[in-house]
Structure formats: C-alpha cells, structure tokens
Amino acid sequence: MIRLTKRVEFCAAHSYANPAWSAEENQRVFGRCSNVHGHNYILEVTIQGEPSPETGMVMDLKVLKDVIVEAVVERFDHKHLNLDLPYFKEKIPTPENLAVVIWELLEPRLPGRQELRLYRIRLYEDGSFYVDYYGERAANG
Amino acid sequence: MGKDAWAPLVEVTRAYQFSAAHRMHNPRFSPADNARIYGRCNNPNGHGHTYRLEVTIRGRVSRQTGQVEGGPTLDAVVRAQVIQRFDRMNLDPLITSADGPTSTAEALAALIWRILDGALVAGQLCHLRLEETPSNFFELDRDDLNRPSRPAITTPADRGQKVIPA
C-alpha cells in the first residue's frame, strides 16, 4: 500500500456570515473574515492504493490531475464561493466545509477500482493554515 | 443553517516559526561523553535554529460557524503559549527533566505538547510536527503519548551500558 499526492492551486473569494445571526454577531464571531476577501488555495489530493503489477502505478497522475482540474479547479478558480456556486447556500465557505465539498466532488469521479481509494484532502488557505479531511468513513470509524 | 445532521470530522493545522538558541549537554555525562554523544551540538557557547512548528487539532465542523471548535482561537493560543515563550530565547533553562535530559528537539516537542494540551480544548490536540532544520523534523501524535510503555528517560549508565570514554 502506498499513497500518492497531486497538488493544484486555485484562487477564489469568499466571506463568512451565518444568516441566522445579526450583523454585529457575525462581526464578533468572524471578525475580518466577514469581509469579502480571497485566497490562493492549494489543494493536495492523496490517493492510497496498490501499484498495478503491469504499470507500477497506483493511478496515472495525469489522469488524477485531469479529474481534479475538471471537478475542482475549473469549478472554483476565480469564483466567489458564496455567490457563484451552489455549495455554500446552507454552509459557510470555511476551508473545513470546502475540503468536505471537494471530497464529495472527487470521490465519485475516481476510478472505481478496489485497490485504490481517496485517502485525504488537504486544503491550504495560505502557507500557514490548512485543513485535512479523511472522509466519512474515517470520521465514523 | 445547515440541515444535515452529520458533522464532518476534520483536522486543522497552523504553522509557525520561532528562533531560539540551545546547547545539548547532559550534566550526568562527563565532558568527554557530552562531546562524543552530542558532537557539534555540545558547543559550550551554544548555537541556534529557526524552528518550524505545525500544530494540528481534530474536531467536528460546527454547523453554526463552519469551523472546528477551538479553531478560531488556536492561533492566539499557540502564539501566547509557545511562540512568546520560546522565540528569541535560550531553550536550555526552559526544558524540564520531565521532557528530557537536555534541549533536544524530542524534549522540546514533548514540552510543547504538554503546554498546548493543557491550553487547548481538552483532547483536541492530535498532532505536532517540530522541524529543527528543513532536514530534521520530529512528530508526535496523541496515540504516541497514550502508549503505556513510554520509556522513562535514562542515561546509558542507568541502562547498565558501559559508557565508553571518548
């Protein structure tokens, strides 16, 4: 068993607000994050699996990159996460929630081979802050 | 906000740098043994590093805030409890015998774990990574500390080994 990781980048804007709260309460809880601002996100997608005896690869990194670009980068790059996308109408676009959305977008698009699975989503909001998500299975295990 | 009852479990990591001096030296060893065991790290006048620290907490994402409990205050806690304490300091007097016999990165990591575990939401700290240099780094998980067989800190003499003079 080995893990391989593909890293990509996308840039997006967001702001934090819980619509159930007053403007003052949102400002108190979220501070400057309640202003519209943006990040250069770095996404690391890690796949765990057994290398194929024929190719020596768990998964072709070019295929993995194409899946990530199609499912994530093209969807989120240079977008406003709150306004341009359906995922954050009910959720605040924190990196915690964005990592879970990315997992849910990627997992069904990966090759459905038994010897391979999505292991981790690591999402950097900047160089000093990142979130890891290991999927529902890990959360309930 | 948020109709789904299921709250995802995520890990949140923040990374820091601090600069500090130290000298590896165990007073229970002879000067010759200290020189032999610690080599250049035993330089009497000390030396220093730009340490890099990653602190990881684990928790469920709140549906109210989209954040992990303790996530928004993690940065302030680490800055107040760790960076303020160690940045531009000599580490040697700050390391206690509970953490290690001298100011190794292993001992410093154990001390930082103890400090943060006491300051953060109980049980939330799940991982520390301390880089002494870009090529030497040290990691601790909560599981490491729960192992009952964590050995007591001993010197080679305590372990009945012959300490070979240099």
Tokens 């690869």 correspond to: A57
Residue B3: pLDDT band with limits 50, 70, 90: very low
> In chain A, what are the domain boundaries?
2-140
CA distance A78 to chain B (A): 22
Residue B19's H or E segment, with its range, is strand B9-22
The verdict on A132 touching B (C-beta cutoff 8 Å) is yes
Q: Please check whether residue B27 is in contact with residue B102, taking contact to mean a CB–CB distance below 8 angstroms.
A: no
Beta-bridged to residue B47, according to DSSP, are B22
Q: Which two tokens stand for residue A19?
A: 């619509």
Architecture of the domain defined by A2-140: 2-Layer Sandwich (3.30)
Taking each helix axis as running N to C, give the angle between helix B105-119 and helix B71-78, from 0 to 180 degrees, rounded to the nearest 10.
130
Task: Report A:86-105 residues touching B (Cβ under 8 A).
Answer: 90-94, 96-97, 99-100
The verdict on A16 touching B (C-beta cutoff 8 Å) is yes
Domain assignment present for B163? no
Residue A78: active-site member: yes
Domain assignment present for B121? yes
Residues shown for chain A: 141
Number of alpha carbons in the 13 Å side-chain half-sphere of residue B12: 24
| A contacts of B63 (beta carbons < 8 Å) | 91
- Provide the CATH number for the domain around residue B77: 3.30.479.10
CA distance A33 to chain B (A): 11
Q: Looking at A11, A70, A74, A78, which residue is catalytic? A: A78
Q: Is the pTM of this model over 0.95?
A: no
Domain assignment present for B54? yes
Task: Evaluate the CA torsion angle A33, A38, A42, A43 in order and state its sign.
Answer: positive
Q: Please check whether residue B79 is in contact with residue B85, taking contact to mean a CB–CB distance below 8 angstroms.
A: no
Residue B75's H or E segment, with its range, is helix B71-78
pLDDT at B149: 45
Strands (E), A20-134: 37-49, 79-80, 116-126, 129-133
Average pLDDT value for residue range A60-76: 97
Count: domains in chain B? 1
CA A121 – CA A99 distance, rounded (Å): 6
Q: What is the pLDDT of residues B107-160, one digit of tens each?
A: 999 999 999 999 999 999 999 999 999 999 999 998 877 655 444 444 445 445
Q: What is the pLDDT of residues A99-138, one digit of tens each?
A: 999 999 999 999 877 789 999 999 999 999 999 999 987 6
Number of alpha carbons in the 13 Å side-chain half-sphere of residue B55: 28
Q: Which residues of A130-141 are buried (b: 16+ CB within 10 A; e: fewer)?
A: bbbbbbeeebee
Burial zone of A64 (CB within 10 Å; 0-12 exposed, 13-18 middle, 19+ buried): buried
Residue B84 gets which letter from DSSP?
H
Task: Evaluate the CA torsion angle B35, B37, B38, B40 in order and state its sign.
Answer: positive
| B contacts of A130 (beta carbons < 8 Å) | 12-13
| B contacts of A99 (beta carbons < 8 Å) | 10
Helix (H, G, I), strand (E, B) or coil at A91: coil
Q: What is the pLDDT of residues B9-66, one digit of tens each?
A: 999 999 999 999 999 999 999 999 999 999 999 999 999 999 999 999 999 999 999 9
| B contacts of A132 (beta carbons < 8 Å) | 10-13, 56
Q: Which residue of A has its CA nearest to B67?
A: A96
Domain assignment present for B98? yes
CA distance B2 to chain A (A): 5
Residue A54: active-site member: no
CA B141 – CA B124 distance, rounded (Å): 11
Residue A139's H or E segment, with its range, is helix A135-140
CA B6 – CA A53 distance, rounded (Å): 39
Give ipTM to 2 decimals. Answer: 0.86
Residue A11: active-site member: no
Domain assignment present for B156? no
Domain assignment present for B3? no
Contact at CB, B13 and A130, closer than 8 angstroms: yes
Residue A139: pLDDT band with limits 50, 70, 90: low
What is the span of the domain harbouring residue B67?
9-146
Looking at chain A, the whole-number percentage of residues with pLDDT higher than 70 is 96
CA A100 – CA A95 distance, rounded (Å): 9
Q: Please check whether residue A80 is in contact with residue A13, taking contact to mean a CB–CB distance below 8 angstroms.
A: yes
